[in-house]
Amino acid sequence: MAPLFHAFEILTTQYGGRGAFVSTSLPRETLVLASDCPYASVIFRKFRKEVCAWCFSYAFESGRSSWKIRVDGAGVWFCSEECKERWVDGSDRGGLRAAVNGAMEKVLGRIKSHTSAGKRNDVQSPLAHLESLQSADVTSDLLDHAWRIAGEVKPNSNPFFESELSEIDLDTAIFLLDGLCRRSIATSPLICRASRHHAHSLSDPYVSIGSWDDLLELQDNELPHTKAKPYILASYIRVYHFVKEVVVVADKSSFVPIAQYLTRLKEYVATPETIRMILARDHGNVFGIWDSAPPGEESEMLGWGLYIFGSYFNHDCTPNLRKSRCGRAMCFTTTSAVTGGDELCINYVDVSDDTTAKDRQDELEKEWFFRCACGRCAREGGVNEATSMPS
């Protein structure tokens, strides 16, 4: 069935920013949105040999311990030659991703030899205090100030530079580099023009991916996220400096077909703004990329991806929409008949019958920073329907 993106529109809700509302009645099992591939994604580095970089299939599910097909030096593995070709030729234009991934491995190698040689950067940095940042200290002004300093600081006075990155730092860097490559490649006028018009057929992959401008429209969660997890600011700034270095190294090894894209990447990282804009929309808008464990079996998260238009679906503890991953695509299908004017909602957390309103509220507040204003929570927990964290 053809996806019907024109079947819903984005309107303001009374309880939690914007939401997706159907314009006409739709039967159960209607595919309302199919995002062909994420704007940016990461397969956790620890899974890179086991998860196909193109179609996200998990070797374990095919009875194998890892995939064997790879692009030399790029740190990516594939389940088939076809997937490899699509990764190189389709989305990655002459190997931009390969150049960036290769540069990342070089920078990581350098950091490793630096730290194993026992070298330390002892210069006191103007950002050192961020390592012990407390929630109460986090304000918009503090965030602006920290990022401004991050943009000005020189590598030799920066404690985050040349230090080991944690696993999550590195995964965040991979996600960011993917987003920067997408933006760099997608500056062709055709792609930008198509992606602005939501009502077009989603058979055009660029429409369902969205553009940089579409990404910027997403809810900015920087302040609540940093308040909830103050350590994230130091991590993000560390990642910014790492990504910047990767782009510089990639540029040095650049070859003509991708030179223009690398020039754009350099512009995006010259100051922290672009990275900050992506990170502000990462937490709270992205979807986990899970393996395809059958219902009832425990599944594993393999990475995460930003499917821009899917991020407009709010949470409801009695959802009328199901999300499911089909390869790189994320699909959203109605689970009940909906009438014109209804809001389409998915569930962000477990909403099974044995959960209580308190369980769900606690999890949503902890991980998503809002109190659920849905009808079921109101009925089961006496929650005020108008209560929600500001967007």
Ligand X SMILES: C[S@@+](CC[C@H](N)C(=O)[O-])C[C@H]1O[C@@H](n2cnc3c(N)ncnc32)[C@H](O)[C@@H]1O
The binding site for ligand X (CB under 6 A) comprises 15-19, 218-219, 284-285, 311-312, 314-316, 368-370, 372-374, 388-389, 391
What does the alpha-carbon distance between residue 59 and residue 4 come to, in Å, rounded to a whole number? 33
- Nearest distance in Å: CB 379, ligand X: 14
- Nearest distance in Å: CB 167, ligand X: 25
Residue with Cβ nearer ligand X (58 or 370): 370
Residue with Cβ nearer ligand X (126 or 381): 381
Beta bridge pairs of residue 122: none
- Nearest distance in Å: CB 201, ligand X: 24
Checking DSSP bridges between strand 69-71 and strand 321-326, what pairing results, if any?
unpaired
Cβ(58)–Cβ(77) below 8 Å: no
Residue with Cβ nearer ligand X (84 or 315): 315
Alpha-carbon separation of residue 220 from 23, 186, 360 (angstroms): 27, 22, 23
Q: What is the DSSP letter of 313?
A: P
Residue with Cβ nearer ligand X (13 or 163): 13
- Nearest distance in Å: CB 174, ligand X: 22
Beta bridge pairs of residue 33: 332
- Nearest distance in Å: CB 317, ligand X: 8
- Nearest distance in Å: CB 221, ligand X: 6
What does the alpha-carbon distance between residue 287 and residue 109 come to, in Å, rounded to a whole number? 30
The sign one gets for the Cα dihedral 34, 306, 299, 170 is positive
Reading the block at residue 212, the tokens are 């940089």
- Nearest distance in Å: CB 345, ligand X: 7
Reading the block at residue 172, the tokens are 């965040």
Crossing angle of the two packed helices 96-116 and 167-185, in degrees rounded to 10: 150
Residue with Cβ nearer ligand X (219 or 335): 219
Residue with Cβ nearer ligand X (251 or 380): 380
Residue with Cβ nearer ligand X (97 or 225): 225
Of 97, 382, 153, residue with least CA distance to 265: 97
Q: Which helix (H) or strand (E) holds 311?
A: none
